[in-house]
Amino acid sequence: MTGLGRSSHSPTVERAGNATAAVTSPADGPRPGTGDAPARILIVDDEPTLRDTLSFYLRREGFEVKAVEDGAAALTATRADHPDLIVLDIMLPKLDGFQVCRTIRAESTVPILLLSARGEEFDRVLGLELGADDYLSKPFAFRELVARIRALLRRAQMPGRALGTAEADQATDRPEPTQQRDRPVTVGDITIDPLRRQATRSGAPLVLKPKEFDLLLHFARRPAIVHSRETLLRDVWGYDYPIDTRTVDVHIRWLRQKIEQDANAPQRIETVRGHGYRFVYDE
């Protein structure tokens, strides 16, 4: 089985039967983590070779790493160590990754990156529904894993930042004033409060998952503009590299179910064929 993005500068994790191995190693040396202290990464995988390989290379990238082998140990480590991000395999003994993800998400907002040798859409969608922030199928290039980890950590390190401001910041080369970013936004009968992370429709609370809220806020701040999937991945998810854009489509479908009269005939979030999505509303 071949890996994704194989090069002499990017190790690729491969599976051969029950064995998992790293192919090639980074040519450059270790890179420090961001912030004053290294981010703490919890790796959860039942394959010793993969655990050791990822631990070694992530430490070289400047992260602090702890690795455990089953779902029960993952919950114990999460509650005791409070990691900054969890790399979580789906196929685990004792508790599978889906069960672990569901339990952790009920207790914490820590970013979760799912790993699986199974690449079916059902697994990806189920993982996202249970609260995972990203999904990576085995085999994968190590540099892609690191890029996804860094993107998730960037999002987690900006709790006070209003979602969807990246595009404006890049255009003006200066950040939007905090008081403006924190101000509630009203579009039609929908009101969104970024500070409280609450949204209402005609005064009734909307029960939104974190990324659904982020996506709605991004749309509300820029109504009537066509947003490409790639732009949404960059500004809402924080990804600055290409990944599967179906992640956007899945979240759009969920959001439509919350704010549309008929999710099958959407009037608020329009699909602009060949371009992306546009948020419209009645004055």
Closest to 61 (Cα-Cα) out of 83, 43, 85, 38: 38
For the four alpha carbons of 76, 77, 81 and 87, in that order, the dihedral sign comes to: negative
Radius of gyration, alpha carbons of the chain:
20
SS3 content of the chain, % helix, strand, coil (to 5): 35, 20, 40
**pLDDT over threshold 80, residue 160:** no
List, in order of start, the domains of the chain with CATH numbers: 12-156 (3.40.50.2300), 166-279 (1.10.10.10)
Q: Residues 66-95: what's their mean pLDDT?
A: 94
Q: Which amino acid is at 15?
A: R
Task: Look at residue 241 in the predicted model and tell me its pLDDT.
Answer: 55
| C-alpha distances out from residue 225 to 28, 162, 231, Å | 42, 18, 12
pLDDT at 103 over 80: yes
User: pLDDT for 6-19, tens place per residue?
Assistant: 333 444 554 433 33
Stretch (H or E) spanning 2:
none
pLDDT at site 3: 41
pLDDT of residue 281: 76
Asked which of 65-69, 91-95, 122-126, 220-224 is least confident by mean pLDDT, the reply is 122-126
Extract long-range pairs of 182-186: CB within 8 Å, 24+ residues apart.
185/217, 185/220, 185/221, 186/220
What does the pLDDT read at residue 274? 87
Cα torsion 242, 247, 249, 254 to 10°: value is -160
Task: List CB contacts of 203: < 8 A, sequence separation 6 or more.
Answer: none
- Which range in 19-33, 112-126, 170-184 is most confidently predicted, on average pLDDT? 112-126
CA separation for the pair 237, 113 (Å, rounded): 13
Query: For the chain, what is the total number of helices (H) and then of strands (E)?
Result: 10, 15
Model confidence at 124: pLDDT above 60: yes
Averaged pLDDT score across all residues of the chain: 78
How much is the pLDDT for 255?
A: 94
pLDDT 10s digits, 203-225: 999 999 888 899 999 999 988 88
> H helices within the chain, ranges in order?
48-60, 71-81, 97-107, 121-129, 142-156, 166-172, 178-181, 210-221, 229-232, 246-259
